[in-house]
């Protein structure tokens, strides 16, 4: 009986972890959006990744052309 409770607790914990990660990842703004650019500008430049730097230059510095 203890083994069943232990397994149930593990399953419930994994499901909770999965939904927590899913919920937190949905909160990030889309790369290239105005909010994303503003958030990155507040982050210290030394903490930027190479991908963030590239995306910032592509989406925030170079103006988007209007068709």
- Rounded to the nearest angstrom, the gap between the alpha carbon of residue 54 and the centroid of all alpha carbons in its chain is 17
At residue 16, does pLDDT exceed 80?
Answer: yes
pLDDT higher at 50 or 20: 50
Spatial contact of 35 and 59, defined as CB atoms under 8 Å apart: no
Residue 6 vs residues 12, 19, 34: alpha-carbon distances, Å: 10, 20, 47
Tell me if 58 sits within 8 A of 34, measured CB to CB.
no
Quote the pLDDT of residue 27.
Answer: 77
Query: In terms of residues, how long is the chain?
Result: 67
How far apart are the C-alpha atoms of 53 and 44, rounded to whole Å?
Answer: 12
- Structural domain includes residue 9: yes
Instruction: Please indicate, yes or no, if residue 66 is contained in any of the structural domains.
Output: no
For 7-15, what is the mean pLDDT? 85
Residue 34 lies in a domain: yes
Judge whether 67 lies within some domain.
no
| pTM listed for this prediction | 0.54
Range(s) of the domain holding residue 15: 2-61
Is 12 a member of any domain?
Answer: yes
- Residue 66's pLDDT is what? 54
Domain total for the chain? 1
């Amino acid at each position: 009986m203890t083994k069943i409770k232990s397994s149930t607790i593990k399953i419930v914990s994994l499901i909770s972890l999965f939904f927590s990660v899913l919920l937190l990842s949905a909160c990030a703004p889309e790369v290239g959006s105005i909010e994303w650019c503003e958030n990155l500008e507040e982050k210290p430049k030394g903490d930027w990744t190479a991908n963030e730097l590239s995306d910032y230059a592509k989406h925030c510095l170079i103006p988007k052309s209007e068709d």
